[in-house]
Chain A
Amino acid sequence: MRFNDLVFGAVLIAAALLLFLEAGTFPDMPGQDYGPALFPQIIAGGFALCGLSLVVAGVRRLARQKLIGLDPWARQGGHIFDIGLLIGGLVLLMWLWDAIGFLIGATVYATVLATRFRGGRLGTSLIVCFLACLVIDFAFRRLLLVPLPLGPLTGIVW
């Protein structure tokens, strides 16, 4: 996804403003006229200057480049949908992390993605992803003692 520099410039200027205002609420150090706000405000100043420069560059290029554009590859074969699936699926997995557990959640998530990438072939995707998640779960939870949740499988697996 390609944005005209004008978009980035505007976002940076807005971010600089917010940063400056938020940092202005930080207290100074006792006996000094600077404090925790100094460094973020220097960064905000940098953002504002770079933002202005990008706005100028973006305006110059506006005739040749739209505000938002897509790569030819990204437009092909539902690639944007695939990105949405990856991000949306991961947000859902995080939300259900404790309820369904890692093994079930990750297997379903990886299987959905693999099936989609392989053009709808579910059977082998399920087997491969289940085995991969099983190995990862065993390695991290049993061998490395990472407390990955098991959800409904608590007391059943390993």
Chain B
Amino acid sequence: MDAFIQALGLVLDPYTLWVMVLAGGFGLFVGAMPGLTATMATALLVPVTFFMEPVPALAAIVTAAAMSIFSGDLPGALLRIPGTPASAAYVEDSYRLTRKGQAELVLGCSLVFSVVGGLFGAVVLAILAPWLAEFALKFSSFEYFWLALFGLSCAVFISTGNPVKGIVSVLLGLLLATVGIDPTAGHPRFTFGSVELMAGISLIPAMIGMFAIGEILRWITGPRSVGTIAQKTIGNIFSGQWRLFRRYPKNVARGSLIGTVVGVLPGAGADIAAWISYAVSKRFSKEPEKFGTGHIEGIVDAGTANNSSLGGAWVPALVFGIPGDSITAIVIGVLYMKGMNPGPMVMLDNPELLYAIFVTFFVANILLIPLGFSAIKLYRRILDVPREFLMPVILVFCIVGSFAINNSVWGIGIMLLMGVVAYLMEENGFPIAPTILGLVLGGMIEANFMTSMMKANGSIIGFFERPIAAGLGIVTLLVWAWVIFDAVRKSLRPAAAEA
């Protein structure tokens, strides 16, 4: 109880609240700009959070992510361009509703159900994380190895249409994680005599590169035009929301649940939560034929799901140090940077930090109502900011951020290289989230693998001798069996078609 009161004091501190309001405004702006994502908002915040205490730093990230996922709905409804990938699932419905003169209903629905989903995710996080942390204290290197590998497997399984490209993406991340001093024998690997490489590939510049520089490069080679707003003035957005809630209570509950579960699964974030939730909504709807023609039902489901996934994604990140999505992958980097190793020991060593994160989720989602309302009202002005100025300024910000992590130009080089790699990967159908997960989890997987190998005297059977490890191992192997089976099936399909 003392820790909770301490956490409450930390979050409700005027400085933290100011940080949350500013981060919220920043998140709303980034999310509302087509082409800039919630992950990019988080990556851009890291250099600033580097200089903050842990609680305001994490509060800034939680708030910016929640705001940007919501505000991604604004260009979707008004311009037919999803602001973030998390809004893509229902962009057709929301835009068509706006064209029918119902922009208020759509935007109000996005805001209200984002808050509902976000609060649900926060409740699940607050209940599940401490319970799982107690359970996780019994884990040994065998369980951690399988759990981390399961996380990577899910990332491959969920995030891509082509499993082979997903596997390549994960392997690239794992390879990057091997650069530097080997964790068990202390031997330098792939350093080519460079002192900088001895410390490994710096996580934050790599993430800034992959999520921010990659997106800037995509903007440069993309169409660059934005289009015109479908409805100029927005009236009362809260009118009719209670009626929606009473009409679709099951959808709200289902969207919240699907979002949180998808969030908890490593590698899957708000975008996948929204797609799955929208598909499930259509499958069980009494009016499935109306989906895609300007129907609000799918927006209720998916709008709730994408925000509830944010809380869910923090569960594996905090309890096991395994990111639930690309945003929490960055959070883990921030926690390491602040000398706090995420895992069950956080609950024992820094319980106030864990409670502070729970409180932050609630405060951020409540803040979403006034800030989100303001963003809707100011949307035309947000869109007036010329991207031709914004992109070079974001680039300069990225440069300083990457430099600031180690006060070295080396970080800028890593950022640029990873940005180009991410751009080429995305252009060619390789997902980038598994690379980040591989980079974040690589050290953990290898260290636990090598420790387990030594404990088991090099015997693979040893990896299945403890019951939980065996269970996790079998589930992981089943996921891989499915991935390989799916890859073979897909590779045979064109041949069959050609024959």
Residues of chain A whose beta carbon lies under 8 Å from any beta carbon of chain B: 1-3, 8, 12, 19, 22-23, 26-27, 29, 32-36, 38-40, 43, 46-47, 50, 53-54, 56-57, 60-61, 71, 73-74, 79-80, 82-83, 86-87, 90-91, 93-94, 97, 102, 106, 109-111, 113-114, 117-118, 125, 128-129, 132-133, 136, 140, 144-148
Contacts and interface: CB of A to CB of B under 8 A. Distances in A.
B50 to A, nearest CB: 8
Interface in B393-447: 393, 395-397, 399-400, 403-404, 407, 409, 412-413, 416, 420, 424, 427-428, 446
Contacts of A74: 221
A56 B386 CA distance: 45
A106 to B, nearest CB: 5
A43 B171 CA distance: 6
Given A40-B175, A114-B392, A140-B404, A1 B424 contact: yes
Contact of B185 (A29, A33, A97, A146): A29
What are the 6 tightest A-B residue pairs by CB atom distance, in nearest-first order? A36-B182, A117-B388, A110-B392, A74-B221, A113-B392, A146-B404
Interface residue SS majority, chain A: helix
A78 B352 CA distance: 53
A144 to B, nearest CB: 5
B178 A40 contact: yes
B221 A97 contact: no
A38 B450 contact: yes
Contacts of A56: 491
A91 B393 contact: no
A80 to B, nearest CB: 8
Contacts of A145: 51
A114 to B, nearest CB: 5
B223 A73 contact: yes
Given A34-B453, A46-B167, A93-B399, A113 B187 contact: no
A50 B403 contact: no
28 contacts: A23-B189, A26-B182, A27-B185, A29-B185, A35-B187, A36-B187, A39-B178, A40-B178, A46-B167, A47-B175, A50-B171, A82-B220, A87-B420, A90-B395, A94-B416, A106-B399, A106-B400, A109-B395, A111-B392, A117-B387, A118-B389, A128-B393, A132-B389, A132-B393, A133-B396, A140-B47, A146-B400, A146-B403
Given A40-B175, A148-B403, A110 B221 contact: no
A73 B446 contact: no
B413 A86 contact: no
A66 B498 CA distance: 19
A61 B429 CA distance: 15
A90 B416 contact: yes
Given A73-B223, A125-B389, A140-B404, A19 B175 contact: yes
Contacts of A33: 458
B399 A90 contact: yes
A53 B446 CA distance: 26
A140 B171 CA distance: 35
Contacts of A50: 164, 167-168, 171
